[in-house]
Amino acid sequence: MNEHDDTGEADVRYSWQGENHYVLRASTSSGDQPSVYAVGDMLIRGARDASQTEFYLARVEEHYAGKKLVIELWDVGDVSGGAGTDNFSILDGNGAVPDCDWSATNGNSGSGACTIVVSNKVYNNELITITVEAPDDYTCTGDECWWKLRYDYADGYVKDTTTWTAYLAGNPLKLIE
């Protein structure tokens, strides 16, 4: 049974969609906080008017310096209405937007600062593959190692369920006799 307290919500339609997407949260009263993460793909549901949100994307630790972070996003940015520019950005652990190369199954592609415009449902039912290289001198500690995905919906109502995968491409093992 789904239950939700809508007390105080200005518009129930935008506050809760009544869908169970198996959201998990873990905490402890002492010691290190547990981590909850996807194995494979992760589903993110967005349902808000003109908003900016950030999600933890991948933990990129120091030993990945010089490696490539590959991010695959399916069906990103279903924004309806509004005349503004809606986009998402990849953020490194310091909150800066790194350079990336990207391509989409609809033929669009780009390189440079990793902010991609998603207005007018341009990537509805499309896959975007993004490659970001961690610099050779990359360092981080603690929460600085977490890279994020930031959605910035200028106006209009976003109603999007995006599936993403993030992994670090590295040196494969070489098996010998």
Residue 44: per-residue pLDDT: 61
Residue 24 lies in a domain: no
**pLDDT for residue 1:** 36
CB within 8 A of 132, min separation 6: which ones? 68, 69, 71, 90, 98, 99, 100, 114, 147
pTM for the model stands at 0.72
Alpha-carbon radius of gyration of the chain:
18
Q: Which amino acid is at 90?
A: I
What pLDDT is attached to residue 165? 85
Residue 7 domain-assigned? no
Give me the tens of pLDDT residue by residue for the chain, a chain 177 residues long. 334 444 444 444 444 444 545 555 666 777 776 666 555 555 565 555 556 778 888 889 998 999 999 999 988 866 665 566 788 899 999 999 999 999 999 999 999 999 998 877 888 889 999 999 999 999 999 889 999 988 887 765 566 677 788 888 876 555 666
CATH number at residue 65: 2.60.120
Asked if residue 12 is part of any domain, the answer here is: no
Q: Quick one: pLDDT at residue 163?
A: 77
Return d(Cα 76, Cα 31) in angstroms, integer: 36
Q: How confident is the model at residue 106, as a pLDDT?
A: 93
Task: Confirm whether 37 is domain-assigned.
Answer: no
pLDDT value of residue 92: 95
In a domain, 144, yes or no: yes
Has residue 72 been placed in a domain? yes
**Residue span of the structural domain in which 51 resides:** 42-169
72: helix, coil or strand? Answer: strand
From 140, 161, 154, 126, select the one nearest 21 (Cα to Cα).
Answer: 161
In a domain, 110, yes or no: yes
Q: How many CB atoms lie within 10 A of CB 77?
A: 25
The total domain count for the chain is: 1
Within a domain: 104: yes
